[in-house]
Structure 1
Amino acid sequence: MLPKSVRLLWLLENPILFRKIILRKRKKRIGVHYLNRTRLTNGEFHQLYYDLRRDPSKFFEFLRMSIDTFDYILIRIKERLRKKVTNFKRPISPVERLYLTLRFLSTGLSFRNLATTLRMGVCTVSKIVHETCEIIWNEFVDEFMPVPSQEQLQTVAEGYYRRWKFPNCVGSIDDKHCQIKCPPGSGSRYFNYLKYFSVILQAVADADKKFITIEVGARGKQSDGGIFSSSQLFNLLENKVFNMPPDRELFGTNIKVPHVLIGDEAYPLKTYLMRPYPSRNLDPVKENFNNRLSIARKCIECAFGILRAKWRILGKDIEVNPEKAANIVKCTCILHNIVRHRDDNSDLHYCQEVVHYFPENQRETEWLPPPQEGHGGARRSSARAKQIRESFANYFVDF
């Protein structure tokens, strides 16, 4: 056998062989980091979770939902989160996987930071978050954000009339820029006018600040109107397959108008979509219409405010590719609906956002919608859309 010094000299003269030997030794050293071996005793989940369950307020503050809601989600998805036990390792439990995902969504901490506190590998944390987000969306979307039927949209319209005095409104629509890390090779396609990279969440909210439908993934460079015109929602509305309720008469009149969405100035005026009058040279009738539309449209702004206040990941760069970022945003939206449905107005983030967006003179009132029935359709024309807006404007003068 050659002396060690001779072997080293020979390896240095053969860099390819030297590299193969070094890589082989590195692979042999790969294993569980000594910090991660203490996960069951020193990891954040094992130190905090069961103590948090003793204090419901602290639990809500930490995981952004009540204990009952957490348990409800866990029971529904635990079998899909469960991994097989092997002779080589003990799999991470479903409850720890859900805990980890909610901590990521609620704090916006990086995968590396969470990996350190939870005593896991960075790749393990990343894989768990993406898998759990996808499972939550697939499990709950049909129940908490289904394709709306005519009956459901009619219920939404009654809610808008009862609370915000805006008849025949089936939802308020708006877009939200969700920050992402600049995707490699994307150029300026995801760079928006706010001077950061983003994917866009387009959503429609009901009067109770829950999302009726969402679309995620448009590039930040696009305008609100451009995003809407290229969306699936636009195609459904244009082709009259969105399950819009039939036309109804405005309360106290014989004027029949279609049900509509309401949006801001960035959206086009359509027979199914009302936007404000241009802000120049407004007479009292048009100004009153703009005010009434603005008050009702705050439902979507309030929903976005609750979403960002609760899930802090939406307030910073989501450091994944746009496709995975879209899945994360979709998961936060379905979790928003679940918490709004189960925890209702006891949600602290809901209370804070309602106070912010709705002053005392714009709070909810109880107007009961009259029982009305009717049917019909509206022609898709600019003149017809303006006529519908004028009908609403004249109606708001007396009601």
Structure 2
Amino acid sequence: MEKIDTDIIALLLILKKRKKQCRRRWWRHPLNTLYPNQFHNIYQRRRLDADRFFSYYRMSVNSFDELVLALRENSIKFRTYITLEEKITITLRFLATGKDFKTLAEDFGIGHTTVRAIIIEICKKIWMKLASQELPVPTTENWLQKAEEFYENSQFPLCIGAVDGKQIRLVNPKNRGSLFDDNKHYLSIILLAVCDTNYLFTSIDIGAYGRDGDNQILSRSNIGKKLKNNSLNIPMDSTLPNDNSKCQLPYIIVGDEAFGLQRNIMRPYPGKKLSYEQRVFNYRLCRARRYIECSFGILANKWKIFHTPMMVEPNFAILITKTACVLHNYVRRRDGYRFSDTLVNVIPSADRVSSGTTQEARQARDKFANYFLTPEGRLPWQDKYI
């Protein structure tokens, strides 16, 4: 017994000695202090050129300064040789380029573990400080405003949003099991989002397994639960514009065939052998649904971290995706967008067709389809595209 106790004490002393030896020998590696890093080289110079600054930071100088002000804290911390501006720069370059931590470490003259810690810190701050501002819970008045914008821009009445799910690819997470495997044999988590006609995300839900379909993800998400409980502040049923029948229909969110047909979720008619009326309806719905595809295109083309599989664990990928969505709205509201970014969407869809429908929803879809053939609801050019 005494021999065992002695062995344990000896082992603890060895571990304590090794721990002391593993302590950091310096706060910043001497080689990293010999040359100015990328931030010190270009920050002040790029501020003088608005176009180059926007290309590098993916936002304007004013938006960047506002972001710095929003994230700045008054608490005093020791060893702050890395300024907040540099930390935000590192994070934005990670999102904008998708570079790995070691490459960014070489660019900025710091350790790759420091780069990772900085990105986690800034992403958490952006989500905590800006999420409620950039992704507020819509009120009934907000939904009515969005419905007016959808009708004005896509000529689809009573539409308050467009919904879709996209795969965020990962590189073989540890202990993943089979839940992250999607139907395209990738490892992924799902970003489910609702947007408006300004390409702004109204609501997002991130983290569902890649093998799940859009309809399953929607039903488990916060927005899906609120839809089911009628607690999403959606306006009361209304009549279609200039419709003499005065028929009351619900406000709806449009999606693709992967979603089930529900009271407030509208999907196209399935199949290929469709009637003229059904083909017209599908075309009209597609014109409204394109906004979510364009929103994902803007997101992915601005933040190219989505162009390749993320080499991080799932929880980190969820944080990155949430941050990118918040920054998407942040920049969109302040700096607009480039039309070319809406034309290509590199984020793959989570395509799993759903057949779940309700009788009330089918009747509502038929009424929309009939309305699009009346003089009040018809578009002059709709027959050319069906």
Compared CA separation, residues 97 and 356, structure 1 to 2 (3 A): closer
The alpha carbon displacement at 1:23 in A equals: 3.8
Map of 2:384 onto structure 1:
none
The alpha carbon displacement at 1:317 in A equals: 2.0
Compared CA separation, residues 145 and 30, structure 1 to 2 (3 A): same
Summarize deviations over 1:54-109 as a string: whole Å, max 9, x none.
111111111111111111111111227x7513xxx343111111111101100001
Compared CA separation, residues 189 and 381, structure 1 to 2 (3 A): closer
Total equivalences in the alignment: 353
The alpha carbon displacement at 1:19 in A equals: 7.3
Q: CA RMSD in A?
A: 2.2
Please, what TM-score do these two structures have when normalized by structure 2? 0.86
Contact 2:57–2:93 (Cα < 8 Å) also in 1:
yes
Mapping of 1:283-362 within 5 angstroms?
283-344=275-336, 347-348=337-338, 351-354=339-342
Compared CA separation, residues 241 and 315, structure 1 to 2 (3 A): same
Q: In structure 1, list runs of 5 or more residues that go unmatched.
A: 1-14, 358-379
Map of 1:222 onto structure 2:
212
Map of 2:3 onto structure 1:
none
Is 1:33–2:33 an aligned residue pair? no
Aligned mates of 1:278, 1:133 — CA distance in 2:
41
Mapping of 1:233-248 within 5 angstroms?
233-248=223-238
Summarize deviations over 1:151-192 as a string: whole Å, max 9, x none.
111111111000000011110000010111222111221111
Aligned with residue 84 of structure 1, among 68, 77, 84: 77
Aligned-partner residue type, residue 45 of structure 1: F
For 2:190, what is the secondary structure of its paired residue? strand
Aligned mates of 2:127, 2:20 — CA distance in 1:
42
Larger Rg: 1
Contact 1:305–1:353 (Cα < 8 Å) also in 2:
yes
Is 1:393–2:385 an aligned residue pair? no
Compared CA separation, residues 132 and 83, structure 1 to 2 (3 A): farther
Map of 1:231 onto structure 2:
221
Is 1:58–2:52 an aligned residue pair? yes
The alpha carbon displacement at 1:20 in A equals: 6.4
Aligned-partner residue type, residue 284 of structure 1: Y
Identity %: 36
Is 1:278–2:306 an aligned residue pair? no
- 267-276 vs 91-100, which moves further: 91-100
Map of 2:42 onto structure 1:
48
For 2:30, what is the secondary structure of its paired residue? coil
Aligned mates of 1:383, 1:17 — CA distance in 2:
70
Compared CA separation, residues 28 and 302, structure 1 to 2 (3 A): closer
Compared CA separation, residues 242 and 24, structure 1 to 2 (3 A): closer
The alpha carbon displacement at 1:116 in A equals: 1.3
Map of 1:12 onto structure 2:
none
Contact 1:264–1:275 (Cα < 8 Å) also in 2:
yes
Contact 1:148–1:212 (Cα < 8 Å) also in 2:
yes
Contact 1:78–1:95 (Cα < 8 Å) also in 2:
no
The alpha carbon displacement at 1:34 in A equals: 2.0
Q: In structure 2, list runs of 5 or more residues that go unmatched.
A: 1-9, 346-355, 378-386
Aligned mates of 2:277, 2:181 — CA distance in 1:
39
For 1:288, what is the secondary structure of its paired residue? helix
Compared CA separation, residues 239 and 28, structure 1 to 2 (3 A): closer
Summarize deviations over 1:330-357 as a string: whole Å, max 9, x none.
000010001110112xx33xx1034569
Aligned-partner residue type, residue 38 of structure 2: E
Contact 2:124–2:319 (Cα < 8 Å) also in 1:
yes
Map of 2:161 onto structure 1:
171
Compared CA separation, residues 279 and 94, structure 1 to 2 (3 A): same
Compared CA separation, residues 160 and 29, structure 1 to 2 (3 A): closer
Summarize deviations over 1:298-347 as a string: whole Å, max 9, x none.
10000001100000111112222211211110000010001110112xx3
The alpha carbon displacement at 1:232 in A equals: 1.8
Map of 2:101 onto structure 1:
111
Compared CA separation, residues 279 and 30, structure 1 to 2 (3 A): same
Please, what TM-score do these two structures have when normalized by structure 1? 0.84
Contact 2:297–2:343 (Cα < 8 Å) also in 1:
no
For 2:72, what is the secondary structure of its paired residue? helix
Aligned-partner residue type, residue 341 of structure 2: E
Summarize deviations over 1:101-159 as a string: whole Å, max 9, x none.
10110000111111111011111111110111111111111221101111111111111
Map of 2:114 onto structure 1:
124
Aligned mates of 1:24, 1:154 — CA distance in 2:
62
Aligned mates of 1:145, 1:29 — CA distance in 2:
41
